[in-house]
Structure 1
Amino acid sequence: MVFLLIGVVNTRGFAQGTGKIVGKILDGKTSETLIGATAGIQGTTSGTATDVEGHYVISGIAPGKYTVLIRYIGYESKAVSDIEVKAGVATQLDVTLMQAKSATLNEVVVKATYKQESTGALYAIQKNSISISDGISSELIRRSPDRNTSDVLKRVSGATIQDNKFVVVRGLSDRYNSASLDGSPLPSTEPNRKAFSFDIVPSNLIDNIIISKTASPDIAGDFAGGSVQISTKDIPDRNFINFGIGYSYNTQSTFKSFNTGFRSASDYFGFDDGSRKLSSNFPSTSQIVNKQLSSKQNIQSINSLNNNFNIYNSKAFPGQNYQLTVGNVKEIGQNKNRFGTTVSLTYRNTQTVIPNLVQQFDNFDYHNQQNKFSTNVGALANFAYSFGKNKITFKNLYNRVFDDQFTYRTGANTSTTSSDNHFYAYDLLEKSLLKSTIEGEHALGNKSSKIKWNLGYSNVKNDQPDQKKVNYKQSNPGEPYYATVTSLGKENARVFSTLNENIYSGKVDYSVPIKVFEQSTLKAGVYSQYRDRKFNARFIGLVLDQNNQDYDINSILQRPVQSLFSRNVTNTGLFGLEELSNPTDRYTANSFTNSGYLMLDSKIGSNIRVVYGLRVEKFNLKLNTEETGVSQPRTQLDNTDLLPSVNFTYSLTPKANFRASYYRTVARPEFRELAPFAYYDYELLATLQGNPNLKRTIIDNADLRYEFYPSAGQVFSVSAFYKKFTDAIEPVIDDVNSSTTISYFNSKSAYVYGFEMEARKTLDFISGQQFFKNTTAYANLSINKSKITNPDDGITRLEKSRQLVGQSPYVFNAGLLHTEFNNALSINVLLNRLGKRIFYAGGQRFSSIYESPRTVLDMQVGYKVLKSKGEVKLSGSDILNQKYNFTYQLNGKPYIPSGTGNTFRSYNTGSNYSLSFNYTF
């Protein structure tokens, strides 16, 4: 595959010994790209016009220093000098133009240097965004030790990551945030929650990430914290082949004892070889439940299962990752139309050990050893063609995650007569995401009007081909341990589940300049999304016949787990095949969202910009189960929402803005939150179950912000925000019975308000020495306060009010970046800390479960070698390795935030150190 990719790419790139000047031409007031502007080398005939994205390329330039002249009708021309062109290098030059102050025919040419203009263009992009947003570029991503998108997101102001993959923005949990990739929405990747697993998108494929914290009518309105927009790379500026290789060491895993269950060679490539799954002729649920199998069929069916319960021991390998990216761009015809491709393959494999995960919830006192074998394979293939005032892109992403976890648990359950337990779990989860997007952008007429369309398809699969669980109990100290296989329950059943979801989306946006106020743009659009999900789960187990007098039943129950289900036992017919069947174990669901919007982006005078409008969203959802006596669909939602928004910006100075905004958004229940399917989660020691009666959440939002851009890439901002929730959706613990259930409910009322501050500045204000000029300090702080009132639903909960689930009272990020030797050496140190937040809302017996604060310290040292074509990076992640600690309160007492509480879960994941090498041909 590697040689094929290299072979199909024309790597000649430029004419021998020449270079390029590439960039974008922007409106200095709005940062809108200018279509059809001309860029040429002064004193020559070399030149070109910008495409529909405002992008230009001047190629075939001999090495040297040049002046580029930029012209556009109605704007002041600009001559940018001191642009150095090198052989085989694409020199980036983004230029901003200001509208002409008069309509005279005399041309006004503004002069600037290359350094001045690069600074000014970055100012414009940062300062002129419509909404309050924060983001991170590919350059900053490259300088961090982050390997995937979830790591990157925790660097963004006000954003944190939960479970190393789910984003929390402004302290609001993942279910209140939305995500899109290349302009179309990302689906939920999780079978039991509304969340996108950001760890599946490799960071090296990202062009930029923007989190919009306020809404405008052209953004889908289903978020409250933030809308995460990820863009991947399409047309590169030059031809290249980049290869990366890296290895990592975990302080508590690598070269340590590693236990695992059954393993096949295909596991290393992210695919089960099929030996774990049910055979195609495996008996149906009806056949098993209704006892329609003969003794021979029973034995044959049992033996068709993968009954390999062996525990294989080895040493955990170092983590490894490989990446190959090929970029190609070709100019076609006299008009220099451009066709570009970016193709990338990624591979990661890690073997991690958590030697002592403590669980002490309710009557449990468990200690777990967890071993996880993880493979992540991904591919990206982006194609784009830019011709005249048009551009067509076709972007494709495929990612597959293979997580095989073996858990060995010991400890007591004081709610039963058992004094001790030995529990074994072999748990494989396969997740895949396929996403394709085709998008077109076209400039129309002479008024810079533009039409943009997008068609998207996504497929999400989430399968558990065979989750095996076996427990051994000891009734009294000193007595033998007996396998609990004489009856079947969800605690010891084998789970075979499949989830398949298809998402189809399409949208069209049209914008046109109109003569309203000083300068305005009218924008309108329509959007549709259809989702279709099918879910099926089977709970199957082997149950031993205790009444058989021909065999010593106790000796079989005392067999070690490796031989408990061996052929010499199953062939006797002692084990019967049983299945737990519930009509809610299978459900189908679909939703249809249709929306339209109208907005006006107006410049009022020289300093005021107002973006305002209305978005209307029509949402229909149907969810069906196989329940009898229950009307179908089991759940149905039919909502029409009017979502107004206004974003006000006042330019206090050329470098400072004051912003204010109001907007309404929604948060809709996810399929899994509505499905009555009950799933026992052995890791949480609880049953997860949806609530078919959930309603959507309405959120009214208000924001204020002051932002100051002292120089390019530097910022200081302070923000305040307020959010009022109606019918907020929250996960809650139903603990009135002996077995705990985690479900969802709508709260009576809720609000969040907070304060954010962000600063990014070089240290040249300390001293003019080069050391301080090459050092950048950055920090962001978010302080949040929330209150939620539990509903009056007849349930007496311990807590009448509390903070929102997942909402942190504070989030803090800080870092230092230093470069030396003309940027050949870079040193980056990063710090992250967040406040105590609720993991699950409390019930009648137990208070809410809180996740305690922990400080995360990361670092990276990078050095460019081989004429800057290669780079060696040494990285350290979670260097402090502080414990993850989740606590709650017992004995019917509400939780005391300042107290220590009782342990729900606690564990360490170890520190990671990695060494990687990247080389670009």
Structure 2
Amino acid sequence: MAFLSLCNLVFSQGKGVVSGTVTDKEMGGESLPFANVFVKGTSIGGTTDIDGKYSMNVPAGNQTIVFSFVGYETVEKAVVVKEGQTITVNQLLGANQGVQLEEVKISASVNREKESALLLEQKKAVAIETKIGKQELARKGVSDVATAVTKTTGVSKQEGSGSVFVRGLGDRYNVTTLNGLPLPSNNPSRKNIDLSIFSTDIVEYVGIDKTYAAKNYGDFGGANIDIASKVYKGKGFAEVKIGSGLNTIASGQSQFYGADGPGYLGFYKTYYPAFPLNNYNFTTSWDRQAGEAPVNSSISLKGGDSYSLSDNTKLSFFAVGSFDNDYDYKEGIARGNVNVSGVARKNLARQSYTYNTNTTVMGNIRLKHKKHEFKYNGLMVDNSSNSHDDYQGIYDAFDDAAEGGAVIQRQTFMRNRLFVHQLLGTHNLAENLKVEWGGAYNFNKNNVPNRRQSTVLPNDNDDPTGPKSFLLVSNDSDNHRFYSDIEEEEIAANASVTYKFAKNEEEEYKAKLKLGYSGRFKNVDFDATQFNFAITIRDVQQPIINDVYNLDSYFNQQNLNAGLFTIRTFRGGLGSSTDVLLPQTYNGNQNIHAAYGELQYTFSDKFTGVFGVRGEQIKQTIDYNTSINVGTNELDKFAFLPSLSLKYILNDKNNLKFAASKTYTLPQYKERAPFLFEDVVSTTLGNQHLYSSDNYNADIKWEFFPERDELISVGAFGKYIQNPINEVGINSASNDISFVNSGDWGYAVGGELEVKKTIFNKEKEGKDGTLNNKLSAGLNVAYMHHEQELNSEKVSIENPGVGVNFSKDRDGFAGASDILLNTDLSYFKDFNNGMNLQTTLVYSYFSDRILALGVGPLGDKVKGNLVEKGYGTLDFVMKSKINKRISLGFSIKNLLNPDIVTFQDIQDVTVLSFRRGVDFKVSLSYNF
């Protein structure tokens, strides 16, 4: 390995090579970059590279090698160098006697935003881990965390959401943390928070741990996704950035529609009016509202600084505030309740308009005093979605609007507010003793105020293009206003003690014991009220609707007084004996106490193992009062979770790693609460009989690091799941969807390939220093085979009143793609005067994946799976620094603009189809 700087070599006739690694005693044997190594009495020498390695040509004979570093003890080693031979001399350096490490001012620090630094961490780690840093995210034009994780091997994202699949395992199998502490969900339908709400402005790196370690919570099957928030350590800076863009499909609409009420910034909240049943007191319109021109925009301001309060104390801070919005338009087919004969009871054309906002504010403070470090992180994310969906066609092929002519409108505004407070501490009490702790308070509120749905049908089913009215509308809920709130409050704590022991001859510790505790205490409160506008007169007195987009002319006080409709909740209307305004609710508590131990032992220079065990006591209680049921149920579980990680260093550039573990998967509150969630083309209800599943995991991986920023790795994995949980269609008149433990077993096996390669890197000296001219490429591919048992009898026995007729006795996992692929090609060039240019082309692909399992055998006919058809996306990203202060950015996303199709496979019926359009964006940033 060549020095980073190497000077004045002596070219004698007889030479040998001295090489090795310098490690840092104060950091537990980590490599020590930029240490000085030279031959005593000569000018031969230089500094170690980022891996702590050095290599130099040395005259044959008796020599003395000198190792030094600022504030560390200088060490001299006598060696005998033979001509033509290479000898290895490794050295451990520590602080001088009487000098504390914190007193030494070291200018070099590891920047975990850089790809090379994260690859170095991956190389050193015993565990199998993957991290993607800010540098790589910027190069690929990634603006949110959900998209960030899809750029890693074996990860894909669900269309239209921030929910990700890891090795085919979806939301329920993953865990999301911020700086190692858990985050709440922002959606009652999901276990994990929507990762797309996190801007990469707040990120230092994102870790995707696909193998389990005892320090992590055990509710884990796919991955623990940990967002490491940015901590600033450099000189003061401030940066402002503005951007604008458009979507080719959204911008092509003559009008862009949304719900009445929400404003441009997305800050809107309302609740239903007083006396909502006996008077028409609703003030927001039923009708779609034309909005602003669909031009996307963004603005952000960030800055940071560091201060030396004394020789032993340093304070640093970082803050960022941003706002961005985007417009999304979809047009295509939406079909529902497709039967075994391939007939869709609902066969509609769909237009969907959505306006999204995201406001993020984050700040952190870091205080370091001697061997103690404290960090505070505060985060607020406020995001909203205002949508108008317009459906036209057949509402029910066997009943209402059987020949077409139905017009269904659904206007939904959703707002989510997340507040996170974290306090973390690290204390190096001795050379071999470290204490770490962290606490978090999280609060999340999700609000759906005043969702509106209206359904207008032909006045005569035999005349679909004729007059429209409410005459044939039969379901009370076809016209409604819906209000819901969910609040999730959580306190979490981590604490651990790490003790190193068993020194070897080189004064390096061979063993490290870590003991810790984790706790999560979560409370969830959900309430929902729906006002159904029930049509009460069903004769010629029912007026004709002349304009389906002017329903305020129908739903008003005059027509309520005339008895054309009444307003009711699911508990009834005026005059009912019960409290009709009492909302549907479920309230849950989840307490987890965990203790764990982890022993890392270095058996030799090449072989290291980590042996972990974790015990968790989980208690999940839920009380519910809904239109389906009233009651309480409890899930009480103790989980014993062993884990193992092994690493064998084949040589300086090659690692072989193995991991095995046991974990579990908990059902979520919505899945266990008997509450009915209604959409236009589907209905979902919870199942109080659902219980947890257990997971057994194994991985093996070979890693090759040709150069500091290059990687070739090949891995294989296997997962066996007992009592897997699935979302399925159950036997009901309305084809409801629910959640069941669908069989006794399931498994997934697969392989992964990852390549990061520099094609060329030419350097030359310019007036500002070294100028780079670099072309690099990346590729990651995952292939998976997956299968699970589907047992209708098991479901019927375990879930009284719930019947399922699976179309097969075994099938794949919902959300799993057999093939996932990501590849990129990047070009970077430096110019003089601080100018540079970087361009990247990124392609991603996933193959077909099941969204919902098929059910309903009928003779020799079955109802097929709902399958999302695979497709590829291509993005182009360009960034340029004009000078040291000004930067420009330009991107074109989704260049291929593929059809996004969901179909029912056996019947070969398309149930959803649309295109997203191509997104163009330009940005300008100024650094003060």
Question: Shorter chain as normaliser: what TM range?
Answer: 0.7 to 0.9
1:709 maps to what in 2? 705
Measure the CA separation in 1 of the matches of 2:25 and 2:914: 51
- Which of the numbers 490, 500, 507 marks the counterpart of 2:477? 490
Q: Does 1:416 align with 2:399?
A: yes
Amino acid at match of 1:817: S
> Deviations along 1:317-347, whole A, 9 cap, x unmatched?
2100111112121110132x11111111110
Superposed, 1:596-745 pairs within 5 Å as: 596-626=595-625, 632-633=631-632, 635-682=633-680, 685-734=681-730, 736-745=732-741
- How much does 1:874 deviate? 0.6
SS in 1 for 2:211: coil
Instruction: Give the 3 Å change call, closer, same or farther, for CA 599–702 of structure 1 in structure 2.
Output: same
On the 8 A contact 2:498/2:512 being kept in 1, the answer is yes
SS in 1 for 2:69: strand
- How much does 1:730 deviate? 1.1
- How much does 1:661 deviate? 1.4
- How much does 1:282 deviate? 4.1
- How much does 1:775 deviate? 0.6
Name the Cα RMSD after superposition: 3.6
1:887 maps to what in 2? 903
- Which of the numbers 123, 126, 131 marks the counterpart of 1:135? 131
On the 8 A contact 2:591/2:619 being kept in 1, the answer is yes
Superposed, 1:860-899 pairs within 5 Å as: 860-865=877-882, 867-889=883-905
Measure the CA separation in 2 of the matches of 1:102 and 1:148: 41
On the 8 A contact 1:357/1:370 being kept in 2, the answer is no
2:41 maps to what in 1? none
- How much does 1:488 deviate? 5.1
Measure the CA separation in 2 of the matches of 1:122 and 1:226: 18
- Which of the numbers 243, 248, 261 marks the counterpart of 2:245? 248
2:45 maps to what in 1? none
Instruction: Give the 3 Å change call, closer, same or farther, for CA 784–120 of structure 1 in structure 2.
Output: closer
2:585 maps to what in 1? 586
TM-score, normalised to structure 1, is 0.82
Measure the CA separation in 2 of the matches of 1:802 and 1:652: 40
Which structure 2 segments of 5+ residues have no match? 1-20, 39-66, 78-88, 98-106, 339-344, 573-581, 797-803, 857-861
2:170 maps to what in 1? 173
Instruction: Give the 3 Å change call, closer, same or farther, for CA 734–890 of structure 1 in structure 2.
Output: farther
Q: Does 1:919 align with 2:904?
A: no
Instruction: Give the 3 Å change call, closer, same or farther, for CA 502–796 of structure 1 in structure 2.
Output: same
1:532 maps to what in 2? 523
Instruction: Give the 3 Å change call, closer, same or farther, for CA 394–771 of structure 1 in structure 2.
Output: closer
Measure the CA separation in 1 of the matches of 2:297 and 2:95: 62
2:306 maps to what in 1? 329
Q: Does 1:834 align with 2:846?
A: yes
Q: Does 1:383 align with 2:365?
A: yes
Instruction: Give the 3 Å change call, closer, same or farther, for CA 548–879 of structure 1 in structure 2.
Output: closer
SS in 2 for 1:702: strand
> Deviations along 1:117-153, whole A, 9 cap, x unmatched?
9999766423112321111111111222211111211
1:339 maps to what in 2? 315
SS in 2 for 1:672: helix
- How much does 1:554 deviate? 2.5
On the 8 A contact 1:29/1:128 being kept in 2, the answer is no
- How much does 1:193 deviate? 2.9
Instruction: Give the 3 Å change call, closer, same or farther, for CA 35–502 of structure 1 in structure 2.
Output: farther
Superposed, 1:348-363 pairs within 5 Å as: 348-359=324-335, 361-362=337-338, 363=345
Amino acid at match of 2:455: N
Amino acid at match of 1:787: E
On the 8 A contact 1:441/1:451 being kept in 2, the answer is yes
- How much does 1:737 deviate? 2.8
On the 8 A contact 1:406/1:424 being kept in 2, the answer is yes
- How much does 1:194 deviate? 2.5
Measure the CA separation in 2 of the matches of 1:455 and 1:76: 45
- How much does 1:423 deviate? 0.8
SS in 2 for 1:580: coil
Amino acid at match of 2:616: E
Aligned length: 811
Measure the CA separation in 2 of the matches of 1:26 and 1:390: 25
Instruction: Give the 3 Å change call, closer, same or farther, for CA 883–27 of structure 1 in structure 2.
Output: farther
> Deviations along 1:443-486, whole A, 9 cap, x unmatched?
112x3311111111111111111111111111122542113696
Q: Does 1:434 align with 2:430?
A: no
On the 8 A contact 1:26/1:121 being kept in 2, the answer is no
Measure the CA separation in 2 of the matches of 1:732 and 1:667: 18
Measure the CA separation in 1 of the matches of 2:701 and 2:25: 19
On the 8 A contact 2:529/2:583 being kept in 1, the answer is no
1:185 maps to what in 2? 182
TM-score, normalised to structure 2, is 0.81
On the 8 A contact 1:471/1:492 being kept in 2, the answer is yes
> Deviations along 1:597-651, whole A, 9 cap, x unmatched?
0111111111111011201111001001137998842x21111111101100001
1:774 maps to what in 2? 774
Instruction: Give the 3 Å change call, closer, same or farther, for CA 480–233 of structure 1 in structure 2.
Output: same
- How much does 1:581 deviate? 3.1
Percent identity reads: 21
SS in 2 for 1:152: helix
- How much does 1:511 deviate? 0.3
1:57 maps to what in 2? none
- Which of the numbers 521, 524, 541 marks the counterpart of 2:532? 541
Amino acid at match of 1:100: L
- How much does 1:389 deviate? 0.7
Measure the CA separation in 1 of the matches of 2:649 and 2:486: 50
Amino acid at match of 1:391: E
Instruction: Give the 3 Å change call, closer, same or farther, for CA 808–76 of structure 1 in structure 2.
Output: farther
> Deviations along 1:42-69, whole A, 9 cap, x unmatched?
9xxxxxxxxxxxxxxxxxxxxxxxx993
SS in 1 for 2:250: coil
Instruction: Give the 3 Å change call, closer, same or farther, for CA 317–535 of structure 1 in structure 2.
Output: same
SS in 2 for 1:515: strand
1:904 maps to what in 2? 911
- How much does 1:189 deviate? 1.9
- Which of the numbers 849, 858, 870 marks the counterpart of 1:853? 870
Q: Does 1:510 align with 2:497?
A: yes
On the 8 A contact 1:730/1:747 being kept in 2, the answer is no
1:59 maps to what in 2? none
- How much does 1:28 deviate? 6.9
Measure the CA separation in 2 of the matches of 1:884 and 1:676: 32
- Which of the numbers 431, 434, 439 marks the counterpart of 1:455? 439
SS in 2 for 1:254: helix
- How much does 1:507 deviate? 1.2
Instruction: Give the 3 Å change call, closer, same or farther, for CA 35–526 of structure 1 in structure 2.
Output: farther
- How much does 1:429 deviate? 1.0
Measure the CA separation in 2 of the matches of 1:725 and 1:26: 45
Q: Does 1:200 align with 2:197?
A: yes
On the 8 A contact 2:441/2:491 being kept in 1, the answer is yes
Amino acid at match of 1:848: N
Measure the CA separation in 2 of the matches of 1:98 and 1:831: 43
- Which of the numbers 748, 752, 756 marks the counterpart of 1:756? 752
- How much does 1:753 deviate? 0.5
Amino acid at match of 2:854: G
Amino acid at match of 2:397: T
Measure the CA separation in 1 of the matches of 2:500 and 2:735: 62
Amino acid at match of 1:790: L
On the 8 A contact 2:389/2:411 being kept in 1, the answer is yes
Amino acid at match of 2:649: S
Measure the CA separation in 2 of the matches of 1:848 and 1:30: 58
Amino acid at match of 2:811: R
